[in-house]
Amino acid sequence: MLDPDFAATRCDGLISGREYRIFSEIAERARDEFSMLPTGPDGYGLIHGNFRQDCYLFYKGEVCAIDFHKCCWSYYMADLSITLAGVAGRPDEDMLRHAFLRGYERVRTLPDHYEEWLRLFEAVRLIEHLNLIFRSDDPALRASAPSQLAFVLDWLRSFVHISFAGHSFSGKA
């Protein structure tokens, strides 16, 4: 997920060994957990792939998705993590997460362990977002790197503390 050479050459000295260990730990855990996620129709299928707030519209009480260029076969939790990333860090994040998931369950039942899996997908999404920032040649985007990195590392430290204390998402210790 984060190549040490890349971190050394493109991350402007912002990622030390301690931070790199957090990324590596999450990458290893994600690899293990993703290999155990069920791929049946209840949790895996065609997803939007970029279901952000600017990719759906409300019309006459209905929600309509737009912009399908990232459609792919993947876990439904991946789409949910993309959507919920749009409310991360907001003061009303918990309320919005709850409302979104309650609405989602009107259409599709959430699987057992969904919250743990969702957090794992969110962690991976945040790291992918950092990779995008550090790979960018856009000076404005690169300028956001220190604050984005601080936010992501804070989130990931909390995730590691909560999720890695002898707990396995698959239910296996």
Q: What is the pLDDT of residues 29-79, one digit of tens each?
A: 888 888 888 888 888 999 999 888 899 899 998 888 899 999 999 999 999
Q: Would 154 be classed as within a structural domain?
A: yes
Q: Report if residue 171 sits inside a domain.
A: no
Query: Into how many domains does the chain fold?
Result: 1
Does residue 129 belong to any structural domain of this protein?
yes
* pLDDT at site 45: 92
- Kindly state whether residue 23 falls inside one of the protein's structural domains: yes
Q: Is residue 21 part of a domain?
A: yes
Query: What pLDDT shows up at residue 168?
Result: 47
Burial environment of residue 130 by CB neighbours within 10 A (0 to 12, 13 to 18, 19 or more): buried
Q: What pTM does this model have?
A: 0.77
Residue 104 lies in a domain: no
Residue 24 lies in a domain: yes
Residue 25 forms part of a structural domain: yes
Alpha helices in the chain, H assignment, sequence order = 4-10, 17-36, 76-85, 93-105, 114-135, 139-143, 145-163
Least confident of 39-53, 56-70, 96-110, 151-165: 151-165
What's the pLDDT band for 130 if we cut at 50, 70, 90?
Answer: confident
Domain span including residue 13: 4-38+111-163
Whole-Å CA distances, 172 to 1, 40, 114, 167, 169: 24, 20, 15, 8, 7
pLDDT of residue 8: 63
